[in-house]
Structure 1
Amino acid sequence: MTGLLIAISFLTRLPVPTVNSEKAGNIALAAPWLPVVGAIVGVLVAAAVVLTAGTGIWVGALVGLLVWVLVTGALHLDGLGDVADGLGAAHGNPERFIAVARDPHLGSFGAIAIVLQLLAKLVLLAAVTERLGLNGLIPALVLIAAWARWGTLVLGCAVKPLAEGMASRLAAGIELRVVVLEGVVLSALTAYLAPVLLIALPLTAGLALYWRVRLGGITGDCHGASIEIMETALLFVLLFG
């Protein structure tokens, strides 16, 4: 279970038992467990919405969004902001992108991207809750969060790391057969619970193609941004399914 504990401590702010110090920083061990951690995040967000939606759909959506941000430690939002700054300044130059994305200061592109992402999730959470009801919302959020992190594994297989860092360390632990198996399991569950979310498969392929064409590779920030984009896109798709 070491890999699961590492995955939880890496992707969330949830407390976990102490991991062997020799393995604690080995992100590669966490790779197979990313979709499972996503499902955990989805359960917690759904629980927050369900427990507070009785006071109003918008209140439930706001609390759900707060839990989404707090549980993940805004890790993926940070990646989205860095990517927005990097793409805005790089003009297609991968080296310039890496330099800007690694700058700890948040620029105007990053700030705008984060604000728009939070607004989009808030509005979509409220709209999806109204459309699906609380019973339909729970499996949908669990699947959305799991698919978004499964996509990280696909990107790790399909797109080479741009530089040494989180993306390269994670890629070392990704096995294609595990990715395929998890994709089959997720697809089966999705076909039964929320078939419209199967669009996650072509969306993931589209993200992989985008990073290959736009930058020729991927970084840890790109992974975080992709998770945020996938979650928002799947919430949006639920409104029409």
Structure 2
Amino acid sequence: MKLFKAFALAFNMLTIIPFFKVHDFYKGINGYSAAFYPLIGFLLGTFLWLTHSLFAGVIPPTHLTVIIFGLWVLLTGALHIDGFSDTVDGLFVSRENSLDIMKDSHVGGMGMTFTFVFLLLKVSSLITFDAYYLLPVILMLSRLNAVVAIYFYDYVSSGVGALLKEELHLKQLFFAVVFSFIVAYLFSFTVGFFTALLLLFFIARFFTKRLDGLSGDIYGFIIEVTELFLLNLIIFGASA
């Protein structure tokens, strides 16, 4: 029951698909919930891949790509995009005011501009991209990066992230990492596994120097940047 509730909570956290109704962060399930993040990413990516496979040849390629991109954003409730935008806003103020700006529900001019450019790059990458069978792995590895970030780096804000940080233990991290590595290996994309973790190291190092730790918005930033990076890694021929 604990594992089911943890999975359901992770599903509700990372998607807007109304399959489960677990929205409470019961003590003892939050670490397990984070461990399921890569699996949720894999399931989302699989849905996108199957949708593309189903309609390829029926819908014009570019239009189908935009539909897949739209589903990618909508199924996650734009949660990670919001984190990306807030994080960018926090980069254009003083270090002391960064966290307050990131917590503000309003989007600043820089956050809006950079988010627009980022989404443009992402949809352009997806149009160029042709290895749709790797979407499950890309979405899985981006969420693995969030789990690794939660475990290894200090949390400097309040809210859900603090609970995840408190309850995520080594055995749960181990499950997430091993599951992700095995899947990446089966899809012949171990280079993506290691590249994603290396990218996380540089992003986390930057923000820990600036803010002495990470926040929920930065987790979203990490997920989004990892996805874009891996898309382009594959586009430039590193899928073996």
TM-score by length of 2: 0.88
2:51 pairs with 39, 48, 52, which one? 48
Instruction: State the shift of 1:173 in Å.
Output: 2.5
1:158–1:208 CA contact under 8 A, matched in 2: no
2:139 paired with 1:152: no
Structure 1: where are the runs of 5+ without partners? Answer: none
Contact 2:31–2:169 (Cα < 8 Å) also in 1: no
CA distance in 2, matches of 1:109, 1:218: 20
Are residue 206 (structure 1) and residue 202 (structure 2) matched?
yes
Quote the offset at 1:14 in angstroms: 0.8
Q: Does 1:168 align with 2:162?
A: yes
Percent of aligned pairs sharing the same letter: 26
Using the alignment, how far apart are the partners of 1:210 and 1:41 within structure 2? 29
**How big is each residue's C-alpha offset from its partner over 1:157-210, in whole Å with a ceiling of 9 and x where there is no partner?**
221011222321221221223223332332233233133313222122222222
Aligned CA distance change for structure 1 residues 6 and 62 (closer, same or farther; 3 Å): same
Match of 1:110 in 2: 111
Any idea what SS the aligned residue of 1:172 has? helix
Greater alpha carbon shift after TM alignment, 213-222 vs 195-204: 195-204
| Residue of structure 1 aligned with 2:37, choices 23, 34, 38 | 34
Unaligned runs of 5+ in 2: none
User: Does structure 2 retain, via aligned residues, the 8 Å contact 1:52–1:63?
Assistant: no
1:69 aligns with 2:69: no
- 1:125 is matched with 126
User: 1:80 touches 1:228 (CA, 8 Å); kept in 2?
Assistant: yes
CA contact (8 A) 2:35 2:175 kept: no
Match of 1:58 in 2: 62
Q: CA RMSD in A?
A: 2.1
More displaced stretch, 77-86 vs 172-181 = 172-181
Shift of 1:29: 4.6
Is 1:81 the counterpart of 2:85 in the alignment?
yes
Structure 1 stretch displaced more, 6-15 or 49-58: 49-58
**Aligned length, in residue pairs:** 231
- Using the TM superposition, give the Cα deviation of residue 27 of structure 1 relative to its aligned residue in structure 2, in angstroms: 4.3
Question: Which residue number in structure 2 is paired with residue 101 of structure 1?
Answer: 102
Residue equivalent to 2:11: 8
Aligned partners of 1:42 and 1:142 also within 8 Å: yes
Alpha-carbon distance in structure 2 between the residues aligned to 1:176 and 1:208: 19
Distance 2:170 2:159 in 1: 21
CA-to-partner distance for each residue in 1:74-120, whole Å, 9 max, x for gaps?
00000111111111123xx1x41111111111111111122122112
Aligned to 2:187: 193
SS in 1 for 2:157: coil
